[in-house]
Structure 1
Amino acid sequence: PSYLISAHTKKANLDNFFKLYSDRNVALIYNSAHFADADIKSVAANGKIVYHVVLNEKVTAAQLALLPKEKLVDVRDSFNKMQRNADYDGVEFFTDRHKLVGRRICAVGDYTITGRSLDIGGGKPGAVAIHVSYKDKVTADIWMEHFVSDDKDRDVGDVSTKFLQAARKLVTQVDLRPKEFGSDFALLAY
């Protein structure tokens, strides 16, 4: 069980949560820094908490230092979301937070290509974009590469043709740089 700490959470709310799950390990998810440092320190000492998940840097540096590193999970929205698929282009840095695992945090998380909020749209897309993450072979940083269809107008072509245009670009790069992209079921399907 996990409890989401928001700006409205009171220490009494957490105490009730701990009582409700007194026989279980739990996780706390921090989406606000409004708790007093003393409360954070008190909560951090609770042995039943197996993870302290911090969303999008929503705690202060001082509070972060109070949380046990061996239980700290850092979750960030690193995807640079565009309004339209046609707006994506090329390669961009995604994250290097995984390099801190075992030193300053126990795990990392992200929202991959959806971002923190899922935007539901409709209608025929102007372009099809495929977003693929890969590890730079020199720095081990994670980068995101965007493969966009050649056709980018809603009134030109169909979705399946646009998908194939983007997929061909992806497959070409994977064939040229197999060590960066690696191999998995998704890439094999492309």
Structure 2
Amino acid sequence: MGLMTMYHPYFRGKQFELIAIRETAEIMAKARITPIIEPVRETLNGLDKALKTICDVNGKAIVIVNPSYGDHSANGYNISQLLKDSFSDRDNISAGILLREDMDEGLIIKLLFEHKSHNPCFIHSGYAEPYSLSEKSKGLVSKHVFIENYCGKIYRKYFSDAERILLRDGFKKKKNADYPPLEIFSDLHITYPEEGMDGFGDFLIVGDEYSEGGGPAYAVAIHLTFLDKNKENIMYINHFISTTNDTPTDPAGKFGQALTKLINKLNHSQTQFFESSAIIEFRVLHANGHFPGLGTVKKLSMKHHIETLANFMG
């Protein structure tokens, strides 16, 4: 295997996402996984900490300097400043420029030159004028990340001058109570070469749809991915849902119900889950009857997803 980074998980930089990045930084660096981070919180301390952890283990990351969502969506100046102030000498932290449909080509080129010392990457997310932009940006972009829902093959063919990554949202977001026990997540980790790509990505177990933070949950869900060895390692996702879901009370009790379903599945001889550090934590939580809060539950599911793919690619 070459030194290309294949897997690019896309994180929105909320607190627990950034903690997941810190806690898996070493695993990601070893497996050459490059996280893409879209900072959505005004304070950038968590981002700074996550990026320093990545640098400490010689990992890589792409930081979006013009986020679509959250506190920096109007102006990414502070993110650009952070990259300049703290990471100007680090070539492993790249600036990601998000190309949305309403963007002005002049602004894209301006951002490109502003961040030319940070290996700029394009994240293609709905922009519709590839011809002119591809001419003007030739040789200046180190990587193209295509969000599949927005980028057809014809659009993608204009940008073939650099490394190319296809990002598929394998997570079909529903109300917690409505998830089926099992569904297919993605086969892109196997099929990306057939798409003419150098790598693949996803939105982990969160999905592309952004929300500021949920209201009270009527049901608690634990989402865990696994590779099905009997089906050529296609990735599936299991949803473990609490049994009582008619009122928004007692999240701890509901987590206990969902966790019991998960542990029963793990203890089944046929289980295909990779025994990740997150799975070990889930086992400990179950043994101690402890509810760590829903943010931590999501963080554990994300860590499990990353460790599963790191193990597959290792």
> Which of the five TM-score ranges fits, normalised by the shorter chain?
0.7 to 0.9
| Offset, 1:140 | 0.7
Q: Is the 8 A contact 2:142 2:162 kept in 1?
A: no
Number of matched pairs: 185
Matched, 1:135 2:135: no
Q: Which of 100, 108, 116 is matched with 1:14 structurally? A: 108
Q: Which of 178, 185, 199 is matched with 1:94 structurally? A: 185
* Max Rg structure: 1
Query: 2:258 is matched with which residue?
Result: 166
Q: For 1:64, what is the secondary structure of its paired residue?
A: helix
Query: 1:111 is matched with which residue?
Result: 203
| Offset, 1:142 | 0.6
What TM-score, normalized to structure 2?
A: 0.53
| Offset, 1:158 | 2.6
Matched, 1:185 2:292: no
Q: For 1:118, what is the secondary structure of its paired residue?
A: coil
Q: Following the alignment from structure 1 to structure 2, what is the Cα–Cα distance between the partners of residues 58 and 22?
A: 25
Query: 1:40 is matched with which residue?
Result: 134
Q: Is the 8 A contact 2:166 2:192 kept in 1?
A: no
Q: Is the 8 A contact 1:69 1:106 kept in 2?
A: no
| Offset, 1:159 | 2.1
Cα-Cα RMSD = 2.4
Q: Is the 8 A contact 2:141 2:162 kept in 1?
A: no
The answer to which structure has the higher helix fraction is 2
| Offset, 1:145 | 0.6
Matches within 5 A, 1:18-29: 18-29=112-123
1:86-137 per-position Cα deviation (integer Å, ceiling 9, x unaligned)? 21221000101111345522222222232222333323x3221111011011
Query: 1:71 is matched with which residue?
Result: 163
Q: Is the 8 A contact 1:40 1:63 kept in 2?
A: no
Query: 2:240 is matched with which residue?
Result: 147
Q: For 2:117, what is the secondary structure of its paired residue?
A: coil
Q: For 2:142, what is the secondary structure of its paired residue?
A: strand
Unaligned 5+ segments in structure 2 are: 1-94, 283-314
Q: Is the 8 A contact 1:137 1:179 kept in 2?
A: no
What TM-score, normalized to structure 1?
A: 0.83
Query: 1:53 is matched with which residue?
Result: 145
Identity over aligned pairs, percent: 23
Q: Is the 8 A contact 2:177 2:219 kept in 1?
A: yes
